[in-house]
Amino acid sequence: MILGLETSCDDTCAAVVTDGGEIRSNVIASQGLLHARYGGVVPEIASRHHLELVNAVTADALERAGLRLADVSTVAVTRGPGLIGALLVGVSSAKALAASRRLPLVPVDHLHGHVTASMLGPHPIEPPFLCLVASGGHTFLARVDEPGAYTVLGQTLDDAAGEAFDKGARLLGLGYPGGPALDRLAREGDPEAHSFPRSAPGELDFSFSGLKTSLLYRLRDEPQASRADLAASYQRAIVAALTDRVRKALEREGLERLAIGGGVAANSELRSAMGELEAAVWVPPVELCTDNAAMIAGAARFLDPLPYPDYLALDASARLVG
């Protein structure tokens, strides 16, 4: 039984996963509404709330799994990348929990968690596979040959795809986080009504910042334009950029299986576009796409644990680890 903790951004998460990848519990306390009034995540507020919530969320994850801490064999925690103050709450809690019972601890790279989320549950994807992770903080393509590691094939050079959705939504007056609202509005619009730039920086890299500027100019120059048409066309441009790189990567790498993850994997147009690719596609349920601790405990299965007391000096890392 692996107890996982994840506090890299604004969700306080704890989960219990078995060695075989069965999810026994997956608790997510979202702070989303707290940050909405500021139009984005406020790091200091996030850290303070993690501190208030982490014990209750951990207790809840154990209770839902029908376990006590005594039944846990390993503790896993997100070490980075993320907001440093937020990460520190999870890392310190995990160290204390593990040390109290002399358990081993596994520090996990948050992105490795996203990449291997589709390896959880009754029908896990098997390497080799391609993974597209598109969230509010990250957008990249990874190749997975063995579950303990991944190779980044391409990534965004500026904004993440979720950030592009959120910034577009804000320009369209849809609030924060605007991805889901933009997705809904886009269903009522014509995706061919406007053409937005689909820049291609590197073969497998992404760039979304020009798109947002282009929407800003379009709103200024055509104030009467239908918001639904703008939303649909803007979403089409993001989805087309993601789909295009995924298709190229599948071909170039000779891969036949694809997993998608990150909050943007909840997007309805992206889901249907991925379904049309010539690959077997794994799209985990939304609670495994967005930040969660089950993916952290799941990734820990493939990594070497640090024995007690080797991890007592372990530090969180705001940047990518390893």
Place of tokens 């391409």: 154
214 is an interface residue for ligand KG4 by CB under 6 A: no
263 is an interface residue for ligand KG4 by CB under 6 A: yes
CA distances to 119, 283, 302 from 123, in Å: 8, 11, 17
Q: Which is nearer to Zn ion, 205 or 291 (CB)?
A: 291
Rounded CA-CA distance 44/134 in Å is 25
How many residues form the binding site for Zn ion (CB under 5 A)? 2
Rounded CA-CA distance 76/95 in Å is 9
181 binds, among Zn ion, ligand KG4, none (CB under 5 to 8 A by kind): none
291 is an interface residue for Zn ion by CB under 5 A: yes
189 is an interface residue for ligand KG4 by CB under 6 A: no
Contact 136, 177 (CB under 8 A): yes
Q: Minimal distance in Å, beta carbon 242 to Zn ion?
A: 16
Question: Residue 68 burial by CB count (10 A; 0-12/13-18/19+): exposed, middle or buried?
Answer: exposed
Q: Minimal distance in Å, beta carbon 89 to Zn ion?
A: 16
267 is an interface residue for ligand KG4 by CB under 6 A: yes
Alpha helices (H) along the chain: 32-36, 43-64, 84-100, 110-116, 161-171, 179-186, 209-221, 227-253, 268-275, 286-289, 294-300
Q: Minimal distance in Å, beta carbon 293 to ligand KG4?
A: 13
177 binds, among Zn ion, ligand KG4, none (CB under 5 to 8 A by kind): ligand KG4
43 is an interface residue for ligand KG4 by CB under 6 A: no
Helices 227-253, 161-171: inter-axial angle, 10-degree rounding = 170
Question: Residue 2 burial by CB count (10 A; 0-12/13-18/19+): exposed, middle or buried?
Answer: buried
Q: Which of 135, 214, 233, 267 binds Zn ion (CB under 5 A)?
A: 135
- Which positions from 144 to 183 touch ligand KG4 by CB under 6 A, shown as an x/- string? ------------------x--xx----------xxxx--x
296 binds, among Zn ion, ligand KG4, none (CB under 5 to 8 A by kind): none
CA 215, 216, 221, 226 dihedral sign is positive
For the segment 106-145, give every residue that binds ligand KG4 (CB under 6 A): 135-137
186 is an interface residue for ligand KG4 by CB under 6 A: no
Q: Minimal distance in Å, beta carbon 63 to ligand KG4?
A: 24
Q: Minimal distance in Å, beta carbon 100 to Zn ion?
A: 28
Q: Minimal distance in Å, beta carbon 16 to ligand KG4?
A: 21
Q: Minimal distance in Å, beta carbon 166 to ligand KG4?
A: 5
Measured distance between the N- and C-terminal CA atoms of the chain, rounded to whole angstroms: 25
Give one DSSP letter per residue of 61-96, joined into a string.
HHHHTT--GGG--EEEEEEESS-HHHHHHHHHHHHH
290 is an interface residue for ligand KG4 by CB under 6 A: yes
Q: 263 CB contacts (<8 Å, ≥6 apart)? A: 134, 135, 136, 162, 177, 179, 289, 290, 291
Positions touching ligand KG4 (CB under 6 A) are: 9, 135-137, 162, 165-166, 177-180, 183, 262-264, 266-267, 290-291
Positions touching Zn ion (CB under 5 A) are: 135, 291
